[in-house]
Amino acid sequence: MPKNLFKNYIWLIETITSAGRITLKDINLKWLRTSMSEGKPIPKRTFHNHRIAIEEMFDINIECDSRTYKYFIEPSEDFEKDRLRQWMINSIAINNLKRESQKLRGRIQIEEVPSGQVYLTTIIEAMRDGRVLEVEYQSYKSNNVKLFNLKPYFVKLFKQRWYVIGCSDKVRIYALDRIKSLSVTKSAFEMPEDIIPEEFFKDCYGIIHEEKVAPEEIVLKVKPLHAKYLRSLPLHNSQKEIESKNDYSIFTYLIKSTYDFRQTILSFGDDVEVLSPLGFRRKVKSVAREMNKQYL
């Protein structure tokens, strides 16, 4: 797929979503105002090919109202699809707008996601077509580059890094920014029925899975200002506020006490205190004590 096609898909999704309902004529009027058009309208056949590709790649359906000949995004009750759509609109679409409008240069500041620039499109295509990837990969823990075949099951974005979850010798998680090279092979694979992407990280904070670690109830005591942040942007979908006082709030989570969750709790400083379980409290306390030593 040409590099610009992915951008074109995102532009088309954002344009129709923003308009609500829009004719192909009006889509082309907007398209001709972008540098991507090179002064040429989208041919009707190309437009319908884009619709098919968007449905296959993102499971987002662009429908046409036969009475008005206006196109619209079919509503979806699936939360994961909505979240994907929101990410695409709020992230890549803004990036496109920033690139297209010279007047806004420097006035729209967004987080860079460098790991998605090179390999993401190829991986998504391989997922769609059920093709095995040949990957050269170097983890942060090793100086050696490994070559292996990977069945790409799904991708996840977490804290400005893209990850692909798939099977090499077993199901593993690979960071795209550690990939040295990537190619699509002729070998085919089928998505296993027991791999459900929405369930895979259900009990996790971020990208650390740790099958042997069971989720447990973690209780946090949070100062008032930070409690407002947690209410507006929960740390995990299991978050519950069970108590609210003038000087603190109590939040509970059913989650795995993994390294990335512990580091996030530590990043809140003295705004957040782990009340239970005792083992997790001790781990956080131990790291805080070692941090304190560095500043004595």
Higher pLDDT, 14 or 283: 283
Write down how long the chain is.
296
264-273 tens-digit pLDDT: 999 999 999 9
Mean pLDDT of the chain: 86
pTM over 0.85: no
Q: Where are the domains of the chain?
A: 3-104, 114-192, 216-294
Higher pLDDT, 35 or 289: 289
Higher pLDDT, 79 or 246: 246
Instruction: List C-alpha distances in Å: 122 to 106, 187, 229.
Output: 30, 15, 36
pLDDT band at 102 (very low <50, low <70, confident <90, very high): low
Instruction: Output the pLDDT for position 120.
Output: 85
Instruction: Output the pLDDT for position 14.
Output: 81
- Please provide the CATH number assigned to the domain covering 114-192: 2.30.30
d(CA 99, CA 117): 15
- Please provide the CATH number assigned to the domain covering 216-294: 3.30.70
pLDDT band at 1 (very low <50, low <70, confident <90, very high): very low
- Please provide the CATH number assigned to the domain covering 3-104: 1.10.10
Helices 79-87 and 44-58: crossing angle in degrees, nearest 10, is 120
Instruction: Output the pLDDT for position 117.
Output: 62
54-88 tens-digit pLDDT: 888 777 889 999 999 999 988 766 645 566 656 65
